[in-house]
Amino acid sequence: SQTIHQWPATLVQPVGSPLSLECTVEGTSNPNLYWYRQAAGRGLQLLFYSVGIGQISSEVPQNLSASRPQDRQFILSSKKLLLSDSGFYLCAWSVRQSGYEQYFGPGTRLTVT
């Protein structure tokens, strides 16, 4: 069966510090991968998605970036965090060919202080 991991589970970082969040998927090949953010009181915002290694599409201009160095690894990064980057970050995957439902990881709670 497929599983998706995210780490760390929680993170407290000062403004201006760098960020690296990691997501890995097991039990499937060639998945579509997604990064979402949930800010307090707001819905899910799609940040990035990837259909293959090195292929990243950005949905929202911001100081975040994403990379996909391996088929089942998706990394969210920032060089300098802003207060507005606080939120709950969710990684998700879907089967590439069908593109139907997405399966979500457990999330990372980021607090920027």
Partner 1 sequence: AQSVTQLGSHVSVSEGALVLLRCNYSSSVPPYLFWYVQYPNQGLQLLLKYTSAATLVKGINGFEAEFKKSETSFHLTKPSAHMSDAAEYFCAVTPRGHYGGSQGNLIFGKGTKLSVKP
Binding site for partner 1 (CB under 8 A): 32, 34, 42-44, 46, 49, 88, 90, 92, 94, 98-107, 109
| 87 Rama sector, left if φ>0, alpha if ψ -120 to 50, beta otherwise | left
Closest distance to partner 1 from the beta carbon of 3 (Å): 12
> For residues 110 and 78, is the Cβ–Cβ distance under 8 A?
no
- Report d(CA 73, CA 81) in Å as an integer: 22
Residue matched to tokens 């969210």: 76
- Report d(CA 19, CA 63) in Å as an integer: 11
> For residues 110 and 35, is the Cβ–Cβ distance under 8 A?
no
Looking at beta carbons only, is 34 or 85 nearer to partner 1?
34
Looking at beta carbons only, is 13 or 104 nearer to partner 1?
104
Closest distance to partner 1 from the beta carbon of 86 (Å): 14
Closest distance to partner 1 from the beta carbon of 29 (Å): 17
Closest distance to partner 1 from the beta carbon of 69 (Å): 22
Looking at beta carbons only, is 47 or 81 nearer to partner 1?
47
